[in-house]
Amino acid sequence: MARPRLVEPRLDTPAPDASDQTRSHRLPDALVSEQIRRLAACAAVGAGLWTYGLVMDTTVRPLTVAVPVPASSVVVEILAITVSLMMFVYVRYAPHAYDRKTDAGMLYFVLNAAGVALLNAWTGFASVSGGRGLSWNTVVILVAAMILPASPRKMLVASVVAASTDPLAAWIAHTRGAPVASFANTLVLYLPNFACAIVATLPSHVLHRIGRRLRRAQEMGSYQLVERLGRGGMGEVWRARHRLLARGAAIKLVRPELLGAGTDAETQSMLRRFEREAQATAALSSPHTIQVFDFGVTADQIFYYVMELLAGRDLQSLVREFGPVSAGRALFLLRQVCHSLAEAHARGLVHRDVTPSNIYVCRMGLDYDFVKVLDFGLVAFNGRRSLEPRSTAAAHTTTGTPAFMAPEIILGAGVDQRADVYAIGCVAYFLLTGQPVFEAEDATDLFALHLQAPAIPPSHRTEMPIPPELDALVLSCLEKDPQRRPQDAAAVLEALCRCRSGEGWDNESARTWWERHLVELAGPPDVTDALALESSLIA
């Protein structure tokens, strides 16, 4: 794997090609989708307003006004209601591209203006004795300008066409012998229409300016953000795509201030720490360690990791949804976890936050129950943190997840790979029983239990059979004294490989289980179906 590099903002960026220029003129999908949802709501509101007009013209007005409503007006209102409902259904449910829906919205906008213009002509709005006030088309034009995600040029053309429907309808009425105002008066009457048509380009300009800024903000090196997958205390995880390669990825965004960086110096130190840790993680070659493709820092000092995009479940959600796993499956999964951590320990790295939420079970090619260990974000080097404490307060802050935290981490003592061994024991306990080793109302009480209370054997907290040697191995990992535990993940892996009585789970068993319980992920791999990596965030 190529070594990731820190991405610095550069002024000498190469000129974009034609495809890049085309993309730059398009609004980001997230922004367009929001506008399309508003278009659907506007179509629903339009159907309601036209229905209100129909009811007034066919029920209320005949009782209060002697002049009957022309049948042609009722026909226009019924057609407008039908078109509005069709527009709502199309925009809301049709699986078409946003561009096509935007074009359909432009046509709907013009048709509404034409309907209003016909009603104006038939009700004498532009007659010699009438012509007071503004045409409703001014409202139609301005509302469309605020909703449709069209380019300023398209919006100007459509708005001018919509504004012209009123004088055009008046001319048609004149040719049919209806009394209308003079040409000069008609021009003055509908001048606000054309003024609104010009104003209608302003929201479009603003929307596209925001879109360009959003697109620039979404550019992470060679990757572009597509969809947010999860959010946590340290930041967000997004699904992303490479701008040149047909490869999906997951990008984790971390703001330094969320981790306590208050000054520029602390922010720079934090970013240097993340750089070292990203390089250390990327150097790990175990297939069971999450791959880091790239990392960098945005112009507004947001650090990001680019990781492989996984399809599956983290162990936390897997156990919560389907219950504790069999001993054979636990062995199958834990061996892969230890394979990842054993390499890290051999390189002098300590994960420090081995939890079910940071262990992902995937469909990987033809392999099922394929484990990936995530989030080496709290990694320590050779038993020490990669960065000195950020402040006096930070020096006394305990990092990690309380339910899976080794006693030495709680006490602030020296931390080495044996802290990960304790966490492996906690994870194994959770897999086998569906419960954490200790439970308490708050973190302080939970810390006390980790420091003092003996762990109940997992076999005593579940009705599922657990081999005695696996029971004993879990308890040995949960020893309070680090000296009495297995000394690293490699030792745990060796002990797990000696546990033969609980075997019986293999890739074929895993495939059968996935086809029964995770049908949507058991078929041909589809990166767009990848589930969120919110479990990799530290809450």
Identify the DSSP state of 289: B
Helix (DSSP H) and strand (DSSP E) numbers for the chain: 20, 12
Which phi and psi angles does 88 have, rounded to 5°?
A: -60, -50
Give the Cα separation of 232 and 463 in Å (integer).
34
Q: Which of 166, 353, 420, 471 is catalytic?
A: 353
Q: Which residue has the tokens 């209601």?
A: 81
In our burial notation (b when 16+ CB lie closer than 10 A, e otherwise), range 496-516 reads beebeebeebeeebbbebbee
**In this structure, what token pair is assigned to residue 16?**
């974009």
3-class SS of residue 301: coil
Q: Is 29 a catalytic residue?
A: no
Give the Cα separation of 150 and 143 in Å (integer).
13
Bridge partners of 228, per DSSP, are 238
Do the beta carbons of residue 346 and residue 520 sit within 8 Å? no
3-state secondary structure 196-216: HHHHCHHHHHHHHHHHHHHHH
Q: Dihedral sign for Cα 139, 144, 146, 147, please.
A: positive
Of the candidates 166, 164, 90, 170, the one whose C-alpha atom is nearest the C-alpha of residue 127 is: 170
The set of catalytic residues is: 353
